Amino acid sequence: MKKIILTALLGLSSIVNSVAQTIEWQGREFEISAVNASIVQLDGEEVLKIERDLKALPFDLKNLANTVDEPTYVKVKNLNIENGVFEVKMLSRIQTPTPFKGAQGFIGVAFRANEDDTSYESIYLRPNAGRSENQSARNHTVQYYAYPDYKFDKLRNPEYGGQYETYADVGLDEWITMRVEFKEKVAKLYLNDQEYPSFIVNEMKGDAKSGSIGLWVDIATEGYFKDLKITKIE
What's the pLDDT tens digit per position in 62-82?
998 899 999 999 999 999 999
The per-residue pLDDT for 49 is 98
Strands (E), the chain: 22-25, 28-33, 35-42, 45-52, 73-76, 84-94, 107-113, 120-125, 142-147, 165-166, 176-183, 186-191, 199-201, 212-217, 221-232
pLDDT at 200 exceeding the cut of 60: yes
CB 79, CB 208: distance < 8 Å: no
The Cα 84–Cα 111 span in angstroms is 9
Could you tell me which residue, 18 or 174, shows the higher pLDDT?
A: 174
Tell me how far CA of residue 95 lies from CA of 39, 173, 220, 222, in angstroms: 18, 12, 5, 6
CB 36, CB 26: distance < 8 Å: no
pLDDT at 17 exceeding the cut of 90: no
The per-residue pLDDT for 98 is 95
pLDDT digits (tens, 9 = 90+) for 131-184: 999 999 999 999 999 999 999 999 999 999 999 999 999 999 999 999 999 999
| Residues present in the chain in total | 234
pLDDT at 20 exceeding the cut of 90: no
pLDDT digits (tens, 9 = 90+) for 97-139: 999 999 999 999 999 999 999 999 999 999 999 999 999 999 9
Using only C-alpha atoms, what is the Rg of the chain? Answer: 18
Phi-psi region of 44 (alpha: psi -120 to 50; beta: other; left: phi over 0): left
The per-residue pLDDT for 75 is 98
The per-residue pLDDT for 19 is 55
- The average confidence (pLDDT) of the chain is 92
Tell me how far CA of residue 79 lies from CA of 30, 89, 92, 167, 210, in angstroms: 10, 20, 26, 31, 10
Put the strands of the sheet holding 45-52 in their side by side order: 35-42, 45-52, 221-232, 84-94, 176-183, 186-191, 199-201
Q: What is the dihedral of CA 144, 108, 72, 112, to 10 degrees?
A: -60
- pTM for this one? 0.91
CB 227, CB 89: distance < 8 Å: yes
pLDDT digits (tens, 9 = 90+) for 28-43: 999 999 999 999 999 9
Longest dimension (CA), the chain: 70
pLDDT digits (tens, 9 = 90+) for 7-16: 333 343 333 3
Could you tell me which residue, 18 or 78, shows the higher pLDDT?
A: 78
Q: Which domains does the chain have, with CATH numbers?
A: 22-232 (2.60.120.560)
The per-residue pLDDT for 11 is 40
